Amino acid sequence: MAYKLEPKTNRQTSTGRYHPLGSTLYEDGVNFAIFSQYASEAFLLLFDRPDVGPTDIIKLEDRTKYIWHVFVHGLKAGQLYGYKIKGDFNPVYGMRFNENKFLIDPYAKAVTGKFKNIDNLLLAYDPISSLRDLSKDARDNTSVAPKSIVVDDHFDWQGDVPPDIPLHELIIYEVHLKGFTAHRSSGVKNPGTYLGFIEKIPYLKDLGVNAVEFLPLHEFYVEDFLLSKGLTNYWGYNTIGFFAPESSYSTKRFPGCQVDELKTLVRELHKAGMEIILDVVYNHTAEGNELGPTLCFKGIDNPTYYCLTGTPREPYRYYMNYTGCGNSLNLANPHVIRLVMDSLRYWVEVMHVDGFRFDLASVLGREEGLFHKSASFFDAISQDPVLNHVKLIAEPWDIGTYQVGNFPVDWSEWNGKFRDMIRRFGKGDGGQVRDLGWRLTGSADLYGEDGRSAYNSINFITCHDGFTLNDLVTYHDKHNEANLEDNRDGTNDNSSWNCGIEGKTDDINISNLRKQLIKNYVCYLLFSCGTPMTLGGDEFMRTQRGNNNAYCQDNEISWFQWDEVKKNSDIFNFFKKAIAFEKRCTILQRRKFFFGEDLDADHIPDFTWFGKDLGKPSWEDPELRTLCFQLDGGEERCELGDYHLFFILNADFNLQPTTLPQLAKGKQWYRVIDTSLKSGEDFLDADKEIPIDSPDHYLANPRSTVVLIGK
């Protein structure tokens, strides 16, 4: 049904204010403000229910600094609303106003749910016309579009204080909020929700992690092409509401309950001493390219929000696509920077989150198409008193540029070079040891000369995008058939090894080897200098059945199956002990780069490299697959006092006799870890370490990691 844009209301209205943007609740009503530089008219629509027509259509008569505004008296929290905007429709010059399209408020703090795809009503243009981006769609989508919700920001935080954990103590757990508890085996009361996640916080506490990095929790749009195949956008990297928590993760007790339920989750994580980091997508929106739907920004002010391009005859018809998702937000525009900054501040000040991981963050630093370390967006964050002290983590690439190591001093980065090198070394590739040296010691070649520390390197081996740790040692090739793209999607460059058999096996020798490699990877990750990030479920060998691009799999391929925790308790316990060991041996959380110098006058450098015979490593040897190093634990105060750690990383398929450094009189080497040994013997508890048989050498088994403590 089409709704004519003719004003109809009996409500009392007044001019209102142009600031703040969005809907702002007051005792006597609600102020509405929306930016549109090029609109000719703007209309506010009010609703009692999301599935029926508007009760009121209010024409906004006042505009200040390109912001249309009105105050509607008598409205309360929970009021449903949205906009229709009139203006020029001329895609050749970037204008895509269409008064038939109902639009979400860009500053909406909650929405009523997902768009409903009824008879293709959501499509912005005629799907059978080759010129549909030039044809104004007369179909009205008001009945199928979600409505924005007026939200009351008040909440009982119960004295919440952010943990404020320094980077060098942070252990990040990346996880999908729904997938964590969606499976029936989770046993929670509200599976797949914000509240359901709370019930599993004791599990994370027991594991030892202290920061949860959630995949996107902003309201997202599910693309039509996925729905048509019976799939969905599970990961959520398709934002349509930068202030709104994802509605499908709520209990749906009432419209907008997702706001309080997410706040409750944040509060309870903080009580448990854990920080919350949000994965945020400010590089593009859900509206796609010129053929995509008009949901919000396109219909409000297309040339302001997006980077446009074209031909001399059609200069602004198309969208710059640095993201691979159809469009790129125009962060060179002051209003778009304001939108993103307002959103970030809202999540810190109102929602109490502790930091952000920025998807495809290189896009945010592009100006005139090129990445700039001093881009306007980075400068805006660096001087902002709210944002310049929270965790800022970049995914430092996009589809056209790879900027690992090149972000400003306030930023940490996902270290893709760490991931790639550790995978290659771990499966036994030769010629890796020189790069391995940089990665194990905090990647000083990337972060050592720009005011940052080793802990600005977010070290990871697996993440949501790619194989799980179990699949990394179980599959040689990707198996994405369930995505219905003939296995063409997802990367072919996985640096994985199936240990001789593709997929699941009953061969006990291969199963044991896979577990041994997993334990090696755990040691590489947690005992390297830098901030470790582990993928949720790796601690109990979660599998995605070889799918390395499960973005559309909202099912058992992606969900945690909690009975696997008990089944693979040996790997869980190894993870848990490794995390505890890192915390106990504070030299593993050293804040500065190692110098290779004696800093405490005990005649032992803080860090020393060794070959297996105590000589210097043959860094250029393409066949070298074994590397050793020693840490002087006395450099960092802890309960262990004066101690030393010796590491043997043997990725070779042969036994490697290794000579040990001589300790001071009265001290002895003890075995803490040997990943080649069976569970129970592979990682010994504190004060139960076993003195080694020989004081001067150790036999490192093939494809193993050994950690000794000298005390």
CB 632 within 8 A of CB 441: no
Choice among 291-305, 309-323, 623-637 with the minimum mean pLDDT: 623-637
Give the CATH class of 595-710: mainly beta
At residue 137, the pLDDT reads: 85
Residue at token pair 């757990």: 173
Model confidence at 135, pLDDT cuts 50, 70, 90, reads: confident
At residue 417, the pLDDT reads: 98
Give CA–CA dist 668/711, Å, rounded: 6
Give CA–CA dist 286/570, Å, rounded: 42
In three state form, how does the secondary structure of 416-427 look? HHHHHHHHHHHC
Catalytic residues, which ones?
Answer: 359, 395
pLDDT for residue 583 is more than 70: yes
Give CA–CA dist 177/174, Å, rounded: 9
Choice among 218-227, 262-271, 583-592, 621-630 with the minimum mean pLDDT: 583-592
At residue 449, the pLDDT reads: 81
Token code pair at residue 248: 């499908």
On average, the pLDDT of the chain sits at 94
Other CB atoms within 10 A of residue 268 CB: 18
The amino acid at residue 413 is E
Spans of all domains in the chain: 13-149, 595-710
What average pLDDT does this structure show over 612-623? 94
At residue 311, the pLDDT reads: 94
Q: What's the CATH number for 13-149? A: 2.60.40.10
At residue 279, the pLDDT reads: 98
pLDDT for residue 126 is more than 70: no
pLDDT digits (tens, 9 = 90+) for 64-108: 999 999 999 999 999 999 999 999 999 999 999 999 999 999 999
Give CA–CA dist 325/236, Å, rounded: 12
pLDDT digits (tens, 9 = 90+) for 317-376: 999 999 999 999 999 999 999 999 999 999 999 999 999 999 999 999 999 889 999 999
Token code pair at residue 170: 């942070």
Per-position DSSP letters for 172-187, written without gaps between them: EEEE-HHHHH-SGGG-
Per-position DSSP letters for 265-291, written without gaps between them: HHHHHHHTT-EEEEEE--S--TT-STT
362-371: burial string, b at 16+ Cβ within 10 Å, e else: bbbbbeeeeb
At residue 316, the pLDDT reads: 96
pLDDT for residue 50 is more than 90: yes
pLDDT for residue 124 is more than 50: no
pLDDT for residue 273 is more than 60: yes
At residue 505, the pLDDT reads: 97
pLDDT digits (tens, 9 = 90+) for 233-265: 999 999 999 999 999 999 999 999 999 999 999
Per-position DSSP letters for 89-114, written without gaps between them: EEGGGTEE--TTS-B--TT-S-BSSP
pLDDT digits (tens, 9 = 90+) for 393-409: 999 999 999 999 999 99
76-107: burial string, b at 16+ Cβ within 10 Å, e else: eeebbbbbbbbbeeebeebbbbbbbbbbbbbb
* DSSP 8-state class, residue 132: G
Compute CA distances 331 → 328, 387, 476, 567, whole Å: 9, 17, 40, 48
Fold match flag (13-149 vs 595-710): yes
At residue 705, the pLDDT reads: 98
What average pLDDT does this structure show over 678-684? 97
Enter the pTM of the model: 0.96
Model confidence at 1, pLDDT cuts 50, 70, 90, reads: low
pLDDT digits (tens, 9 = 90+) for 144-190: 999 999 999 999 999 999 999 999 999 999 999 999 999 999 999 99
At residue 438, the pLDDT reads: 96
What average pLDDT does this structure show over 672-677? 98
Residue at token pair 């799980």: 468
Q: Where are the beta strands (DSSP E) in 101-158?
A: 148-149
What backbone torsions phi and psi does residue 45 show, to the nearest 5 degrees? -110, 130
Other CB atoms within 10 A of residue 151 CB: 25
What backbone torsions phi and psi does residue 305 show, to the nearest 5 degrees? -80, -25
Give CA–CA dist 687/684, Å, rounded: 8
Model confidence at 596, pLDDT cuts 50, 70, 90, reads: confident
Half-sphere exposure of 397 (CA within 13 A, CB side): 9
At residue 635, the pLDDT reads: 67
What average pLDDT does this structure show over 10-39? 98
Give CA–CA dist 99/103, Å, rounded: 9
Q: What is the percentage of the chain residues whose pLDDT exceeds 70?
A: 96
Residue at token pair 């609600």: 30
Compute CA distances 35 → 282, 288, 364, 380, whole Å: 18, 21, 21, 20
Nearest alpha carbon to residue 578 among 648, 710, 682: 682
